[in-house]
Amino acid sequence: MKYVTMIAYTRYSRDTRIKREAEALVGMNGINVTLFTTKEGKKARKYEWRGVDVQESRLPKYQGSNLAIYFLSYLIFTFLSFCFCFAQLVRGRLNAVHVHNMPNFLIFGALPVKLRGGKIILDVHDTMVETYAAKFQEGRKKLLRKVLALEELVCTRLADAVIAVNEPQAEVLIKRGVPRRKITIVMNVPDERVFDYRNTFFDRKRGGSFRTVYHGTVARRNGVDMAIRAVADLRSRVPGIELDISGAGDYLAECQDLVDELDAGEFIRVSGGMASEDVINFLKNMDLEIVTNRRSPASELMLPVKLMESVALGLPVVTARLPTIEYYFSEEMVFFFEPDDLDSLVGAILEANENREGCREKARNAKRFLEKYGWNIQKQGLLDLYEKSGAD
C-alpha cells in the first residue's frame, strides 16, 4: 500500500478540482489518499468521502480582504501541515505529498516526506506572481513581484514534479525557470461522471424569457458587476431578459447593492453557492452563461471553470476575449466581448439573444474542446505522472 497525503488550503466540499484528483488517485491500485485541509464548520472533522480520508485542521479558511491576515493564516496552515505530515511519517503512512497552491510555500509543510525519500508534487492552480501582484498599488508591485517570483522558484525547485492547469500557464512557469521536464498539464475540466458531455440542454426558441447566468466565485476581479449592468441596460431592448448570479465570494453584498441601486431586483437575482450536482440542474434552465473576467495578469492565464462547465452542458457562452480562453476557444465556439468594455458585453449578449441558431451552433462546436481535453484525458495524465515519478 502506498500513502499519498494532499495538502490544500481550501473548503474541500466545494473544491471540485481537488476532489477529482484525489478520487482519481484513490482509483489506482494500492493507493491510499489522505487530505489535510481547513475546517468548514465550528469543529475540525475527520471523515471519509468517496474513498478519500479527509482530516480538517483547527484553522478555518480566511475569506476576508486583509492580505496580512491571509499570509498569517497561510503560515499557520503550513506549520499545521508540517506537523500532520510528520505524524503520518511516524505512522508509516507517507510516501508522497501532493501540495495544492495557493500559496506555493505550503510545500514546506510537505518536507517530512523527504526524510524517507518520498516525492513532492506541487499543483499550481494559480500563479502567485500574477494573482497577488494585481492586489497592490503600482508603486509596490515591482518589489512584490520579485518576492513572489523568488517564492515560486524556491518552491518549484523543492518539488519533484509540478502540475500546471493549462499550456499558457506552463509556458510562463518555464520562462521563470521551471524545467519543462518537471511540468505536467492537468486541466481543471469538468468530470463527465457529473457533467455528462453527451447531453446538450440548450434548445430554446426565441421569444418569452431569456435567462442569463453567472455562476462561480463572486468577486470584483471576475467582473460580476459588469454582467449586472449589461443585463439592466438590455432590459428595455430584451423585455424577457433575466440574470441569475449564483456563487460564494466576498462581493455578494456589493452585487446585491448594485441590483438595488439599478432597481433591477425583479429580473436580476443574487444567491449563494451550491453543490456541483445542484449547479447542473440550475444551468439546465438557462439560455446563456456570461463569463466577465476583467483583464489582469492573473486572468490572462486562466481558463474559467464556469466556461467549461457550461460547454459540457451545451450552454452557449459569452466570454471576455482573454489570451488563455482564446488559446482553447475560437469565434466558432463562443461569443467574445472585449474585457472591461460594457458596450462590447451588451453587444455580445444582444447578438446571442437575436441569433438563437448561432447559439446552438456555437454550443455544438464548443464540445470539440471536451473531445480533446476532457477529464478522462486529464485524469490519465495525472495517473501517468504518479507512475513516472514513482510517487505511487
CA nearest 359: which of 334, 391, 322? 334
Specify whether the backbone of 340 is left (phi greater than 0), alpha (psi in -120 to 50) or beta: left
Contact 264, 232 (CB under 8 A): yes
When pLDDT is averaged across residues 349-359 and rounded to a whole number, the result is 91
For residue 198, the model assigns a pLDDT of 72
For residue 153, the model assigns a pLDDT of 95
pTM: 0.89
Q: How confident is the model at residue 388 (pLDDT cuts 50, 70, 90)?
A: confident
Rounded CA gap, 161 and 148, in Å? 19
Rounded CA gap, 191 and 263, in Å? 38
For residue 204, the model assigns a pLDDT of 54
304-317 pLDDT, tens digit each: 999 999 999 999 99
For residue 282, the model assigns a pLDDT of 85
Residue 202 pLDDT > 70 = no
217: phi then psi, degrees, rounded to nearest 5? -60, 125
For residue 283, the model assigns a pLDDT of 87
Residue 256 pLDDT > 60 = yes
For residue 27, the model assigns a pLDDT of 82
40-73 pLDDT, tens digit each: 999 999 999 999 999 999 999 987 777 789 889 9
For residue 293, the model assigns a pLDDT of 95
Residue 278 pLDDT > 60 = yes
When pLDDT is averaged across residues 196-204 and rounded to a whole number, the result is 63
Contacts of 239 (CB under 8 A, 6+ apart): none
* Structural domains of the chain, ranges and CATH numbers in brackets: 2-189+374-389 (3.40.50.2000), 210-372 (3.40.50.2000)
For residue 201, the model assigns a pLDDT of 53
For residue 197, the model assigns a pLDDT of 74
326-341 pLDDT, tens digit each: 999 999 999 999 999 9
For residue 67, the model assigns a pLDDT of 77
Question: Per the structure block, which three cell numbers stand in for 72?
Answer: 498569517
When pLDDT is averaged across residues 248-254 and rounded to a whole number, the result is 85
Q: How confident is the model at residue 356 (pLDDT cuts 50, 70, 90)?
A: confident
Hey, is 236 helix, strand or coil?
A: coil
Report the greatest alpha carbon distance in the chain: 67
Rounded CA gap, 79 and 172, in Å? 29
Residue 237 pLDDT > 60 = yes
CA nearest 286: which of 263, 303, 265, 309? 309
105-153 pLDDT, tens digit each: 999 999 999 998 999 999 999 999 998 776 655 556 678 888 899 999 9
198: phi then psi, degrees, rounded to nearest 5? -75, -20
Question: Cα 171 to the chain's mean position, in Å?
Answer: 19
Residue 25 pLDDT > 90 = yes
Per the omega criterion (within 30 degrees of 0), is the bond before 28 cis? no
CA nearest 201: which of 282, 290, 291, 308? 282
294-307 pLDDT, tens digit each: 999 999 999 999 99
3-class SS string, 306-319: HHHHHHHCCCCEEE
Contacts of 201 (CB under 8 A, 6+ apart): 283, 284, 313, 314, 315
**Helix, strand, coil share (%) of the chain residues, nearest 5:** 45, 20, 35
For residue 140, the model assigns a pLDDT of 63
Q: What percent of the chain has pLDDT over 70?
A: 93
- Residue 221 has a CB neighbour count (10 Å cut-off) of 17
For residue 207, the model assigns a pLDDT of 57
For residue 116, the model assigns a pLDDT of 87
Rounded CA gap, 56 and 344, in Å? 45
Q: Is 265 exposed, middle or buried (0-12, 13-18, 19+ CB in 10 A)?
A: exposed
Hey, is 354 helix, strand or coil?
A: helix
Please report the DSSP string for 301-349 in residue order. Answer: G---HHHHHHHHTT--EEEE--HHHHHH--TTTSEEE-TT-HHHHHHHH
Mean predicted lDDT score pLDDT of the chain: 91
DSSP state of 195: S
For residue 284, the model assigns a pLDDT of 84
